């Protein structure tokens, strides 16, 4: 059976969803055209789950809002200036956008919006032919003016208009090309790739927030690597995430070391695999994925050649954390996510050396219980992410070394579990809080209370739980010695 014919039952089922039926009836009664468009149609053709309900209409945004109001449990502007109204209808989130075309002008960082009057015209101005397919409602007539179905069947991304014109009109489409390469497993046609190379600098007119959103959507796919490779190969990454292509360090016959760029892509893939295995069904953890991709960006700045052909990257974790913080702030990531990524990058080297045979006999010879407590304390609520990132960072082809590192980390996780069960490790606080310290020492709030708290925290990390009476005794001894000093 032809793939389009096979998709008809899926498109029919899509049109029969309660939310779709209600909306279609309402717009027909109001005398406006309505069609399912883009992602839902494309995904139905590909036999992929349809999770987004996107519509396009001849109605202007104010009319769309008026028509939706009686149907919606909630309604909000998803971008009224861009023609989009979102609503919750029959338990599903829908977005309805007026026929439009978006055009960037050289002096603007945001597209100018012009509303259109025909579905055919709207589709011809869309990003890729595979997203320029619509199904009219309620007739279920397929509208495909740019031959997008052929693109779906060939698993090829092409633009409805010449690629140079399309990417010049909306440079964000170049990032979307990378995202769809990974999300759909499609390849960008040569004309599109050439246009990306020629117009890469046009991405600078796009706001950092929109660039950020596309990069995060790319990283949220099951395999971001093809899209990232497209960004690097076309020169776009050098403008939006320059730390990534900078990882492609030049190697030579004398100084042999891993290809840091390839290593980073592998770490990202392995982190995603571990994320799926350890937390099946959960939403993609973009903080973990950003940290995995950028964990070694400090290496180019810290690379040093040593005698005998060795190469070192001392303190690349600290340098990389600072670099990541700067880049992610420029991309307008929320401060909390910036802090989380930077913390993971700064900690990602901490484990290596645990269980190193050169450190003594047995795994425990190198890391004391105190060191394990500090590892947990420094990771804070990032511990699970750090577990995944550290395991994913092992990309050696030496199977013996890989097995040894895996066993060592198994041992570390086991010890963390044992200590957590014994000592409430997740709390990681002194047994006396600030109020108790002031009561024991007769102090008022101030610097000395903070110093006493830090003393007790160090004691907790070094020796574990002591009990409140012993903690108080040690506190008094410390205070007496401090006063005498």
Q: Please report where in the chains the tokens 């945001």 appear, as a residue.
A: 110
Residues 161 and 131 in one domain: no
The domain boundary residue, chosen from 241, 266, 281: 241
Q: Report the CATH number that the domain containing residue 171 is assigned in CATH.
A: 1.10.110.30
What the block records as the tokens of 94 is 């829908």
Determine, yes or no, domain membership for 321.
yes
Residues 332 and 444 in one domain: no
To 10 degrees, the CA torsion angle through 75, 76, 78, 82?
100
| Structural domain span for residue 283 | 254-423
Residues 409 and 298 in one domain: yes
What the block records as the tokens of 134 is 């619509």
Task: Work out whether strand 84-89 and strand 34-37 pair parallel, antiparallel, or are unpaired.
Answer: unpaired
The domain boundary residue, chosen from 154, 184, 199: 154
Residues 276 and 387 in one domain: yes
Determine, yes or no, domain membership for 429.
no
Burial class for 59, CB neighbours closer than 10 Å (0-12, 13-18, 19+): buried
Question: Are 101 and 123 in contact, with CB atoms under 8 Å apart?
Answer: no
What the block records as the tokens of 273 is 């695999």
Residues 162 and 143 in one domain: no
The domain boundary residue, chosen from 196, 214, 241: 241
Nearest C-alpha neighbor of 97 from the set 121, 74, 76, 78? 78
Residues 91 and 28 in one domain: yes
| Tens place of pLDDT per residue across the chain (485 aa) | 666 777 788 888 888 999 999 999 999 999 999 999 999 999 999 988 888 899 999 999 999 999 999 999 999 887 777 889 999 999 999 999 999 865 556 555 555 677 888 999 899 989 999 999 999 999 999 999 999 999 999 999 999 999 999 999 889 999 999 999 999 999 999 999 999 999 999 999 999 999 999 999 999 999 999 999 999 999 999 999 999 999 986 444 344 446 889 999 999 999 999 999 999 999 999 999 999 999 999 998 888 887 777 788 888 999 999 999 999 999 999 999 999 999 999 999 988 867 654 444 444 446 777 788 888 888 888 999 999 999 999 988 888 888 888 888 888 888 888 777 665 555 567 777 878 888 878 888 878 877 888 788 777 777 777 788 888 888 788 888 877 76
Residues 140 and 74 in one domain: yes
Nearest C-alpha neighbor of 342 from the set 323, 359, 361, 357? 323
DSSP labels for 112-165? EEEE-S-HHHHHHTSS-GGG--EEETTT--EE-TT-HHHHHHHTEE--SS-HHH
Residues 419 and 452 in one domain: no
Long-range contacts of 316-319 (CB under 8 A, 24+ apart): 316/349, 317/345, 317/346, 317/347, 317/348, 317/349, 318/346
Q: Is the pTM of this model over 0.85?
A: no
The reported pLDDT for the residue numbered 413 is 87
The reported pLDDT for the residue numbered 428 is 62
Q: Please report where in the chains the tokens 């892509």 appear, as a residue.
A: 265
Residues 147 and 49 in one domain: yes
B/e letters for 64-91, b = 16+ CB within 10 Å, e = fewer, are bbebbeebbeebeebeeebbbbbbbbee
Residues 206 and 232 in one domain: yes
Nearest C-alpha neighbor of 243 from the set 299, 174, 182, 313? 299
Residues 208 and 283 in one domain: no
Domains held by the chain: number: 4
- Per residue in 26-52, pLDDT (tens digit) is 999 999 999 999 999 999 999 888 888
Q: Report the CATH number that the domain containing residue 419 is assigned in CATH.
A: 1.10.3210
Determine, yes or no, domain membership for 247.
no
Determine, yes or no, domain membership for 388.
yes
| DSSP 3-state of 166 | helix
Residues 209 and 267 in one domain: no
Determine, yes or no, domain membership for 428.
no
């Amino acid at each position: 059976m032809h793939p389009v014919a096979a998709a008809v039952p899926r498109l029919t089922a899509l049109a029969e969803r309660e939310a779709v039926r209600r909306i279609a009836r309402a717009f027909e009664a109001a005398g406006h055209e309505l069609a399912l468009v883009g992602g839902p149609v494309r995904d139905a053709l590909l036999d992929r789950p349809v999770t987004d309900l996107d519509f396009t209409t001849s109605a202007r945004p104010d009319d769309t809002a008026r028509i939706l109001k009686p149907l919606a449990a909630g309604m909000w502007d998803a971008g009224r200036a861009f023609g989009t109204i979102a609503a919750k209808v029959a338990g599903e989130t829908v977005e309805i956008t007026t026929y439009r075309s978006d055009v960037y002008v050289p002096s603007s960082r945001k597209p100018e919006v012009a509303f259109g009057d025909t579905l055919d015209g709207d589709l011809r101005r869309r990003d890729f032919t595979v997203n320029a397919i619509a199904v009219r409602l309620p007739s279920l007539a397929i509208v495909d003016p740019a031959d997008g179905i052929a693109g779906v069947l060939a698993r090829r991304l092409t633009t409805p208009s010449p690629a140079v014109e399309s990417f010049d009109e909306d440079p964000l489409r170049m990032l979307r090309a990378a995202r769809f390469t990974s999300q759909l497993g499609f390849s960008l046609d040569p004309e599109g790739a050439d246009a990306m190379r020629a117009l890469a600098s046009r991405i600078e007119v796009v706001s950092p927030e929109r660039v950020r959103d596309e990069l995060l959507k790319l990283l949220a796919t099951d395999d971001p690597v093809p899209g990232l490779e497209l960004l690097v190969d076309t020169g776009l990454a050098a403008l939006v995430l320059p730390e990534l292509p900078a990882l492609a360090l030049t190697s030579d016959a004398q100084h042999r070391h891993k290809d840091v760029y390839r290593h980073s892509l592998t770490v990202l893939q392995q982190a995603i695999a571990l994320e799926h295995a350890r937390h099946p069904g959960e939403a993609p953890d973009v903080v973990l994925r950003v940290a995995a991709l950028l964990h070694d960006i400090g290496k180019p700045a810290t690379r040093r050649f040593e005698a005998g052909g060795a190469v070192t990257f001392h303190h690349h974790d600290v340098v990389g954390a600072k670099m990541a913080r700067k880049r992610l702030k420029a991309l307008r990531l929320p401060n909390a996510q910036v802090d989380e990524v930077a913390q993971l990058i700064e900690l990602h080297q901490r484990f290596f050396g645990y269980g190193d045979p050169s450190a003594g006999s047995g795994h425990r010879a190198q890391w004391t219980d105190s060191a394990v407590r500090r590892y947990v304390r420094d990771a804070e609520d990032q511990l699970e992410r750090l577990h995944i990132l550290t395991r994913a960072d092992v990309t050696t082809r030496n199977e013996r070394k890989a097995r040894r590192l895996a066993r060592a980390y198994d041992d570390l996780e086991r010890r963390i579990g044992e200590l957590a069960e014994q000592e409430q490790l997740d709390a990681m606080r002194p047994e006396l809080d600030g109020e108790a310290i002031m009561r024991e020492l007769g102090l008022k709030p101030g610097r000395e209370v903070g110093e006493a708290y830090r003393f007790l925290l160090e004691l907790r990390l070094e020796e574990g739980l002591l009990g409140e009476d012993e903690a108080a005794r040690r506190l008094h001894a410390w205070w007496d010695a401090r006063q005498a000093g």
